Amino acid sequence: MMKEKIIEKSADLFLNLGFKSVTMDDIAQEMGISKKTIYQYFATKTKLVEATAIFKFNCINDAINLCFCAKVNPIEEILKMKDFIISQINSERPSAEYQFKKYYPRIFSILKQKQFEITKDCISGNLKRGIKEGYYREDINIEFISRAFFALMVSLKDEEVFPKDTFTKIELLGYVLDYHLRGISTIKGQEFLNQIKTNN
């Protein structure tokens, strides 16, 4: 129980104040425990950072899986995912992610690969169901599109490609998902998208 509490509190501090900025002393003081107690569970700060990063990754992954397990059509699945990502965008701290990537590149790389694998699986499943239900074209290449989707999503954070003074992150997300869906949709899918746009 104490281990889980340390992970949860550390995740909160790291994400709000930065992975480099927060020390083991800060965590101990915030929790009202000794630093020695933390070291009983995590031999180094790097081990703690890894545990908190995996914890947050799993939380986000569970939430995304719920989007793809809902009893809605494939296009609505993507739109549910969009709503979740927007909630994450509104709460994320760019400086924390920058520090994580800079000071813990090994952990960042491992989680990025896991994120790729999970995203690819979710999108592949969505594409297969979309084809089966008549929302997506039968001639699309599922392997390519599932990989391209991940690449597009990652590119949204590249400010050289998408300057923040030209696009907001939420605008970009909307453009990319519309680009994705309209590129693969059948007439039935296009009509459904137009209906959603009209209703909104």
Residue 173 lies in a domain: yes
Say which CATH number the domain at 193 has.
1.10.357.10
Count of structural domains, the chain: 1
Residue 57 lies in a domain: yes
CA 4, CA 166: separation in Å to the nearest integer?
41
CA 12, CA 161: separation in Å to the nearest integer?
30
CA 63, CA 2: separation in Å to the nearest integer?
24
Residue 112 lies in a domain: yes
Residue 25 lies in a domain: no
Residue 160 lies in a domain: yes
- Residue 79's pLDDT is 94
- Residue 35's pLDDT is 95
89 CB-near residues (< 8 Å, 6+ apart): 169, 170, 173
- Residue 67's pLDDT is 86
Q: Containing H/E element for 136?
A: none
DSSP state of 22: -
> Which structure tokens are listed for 1?
């129980």
Residue 140 lies in a domain: yes
Residue 145 lies in a domain: yes
CA 13, CA 7: separation in Å to the nearest integer?
10
Kindly report the pTM of this predicted structure.
0.90
pLDDT of the chain along its 200 residues, tens only?
899 999 999 999 999 999 998 999 999 999 999 999 999 999 999 999 999 999 999 999 998 888 888 789 999 999 999 999 998 887 778 788 889 999 999 999 999 999 999 999 999 999 999 999 999 999 999 999 999 999 999 999 898 999 989 999 999 999 999 999 999 999 999 999 999 989 87
**Structural domain of 143:** 52-199
> Which structure tokens are listed for 91?
């709460």
- Residue 125's pLDDT is 96
97 CB-near residues (< 8 Å, 6+ apart): none
CA 53, CA 114: separation in Å to the nearest integer?
12
Count CB atoms within 10 A of the CB of residue 188.
14
Amino acid found at 185: S
Q: Which residues pair with 185 in a beta bridge?
A: 136
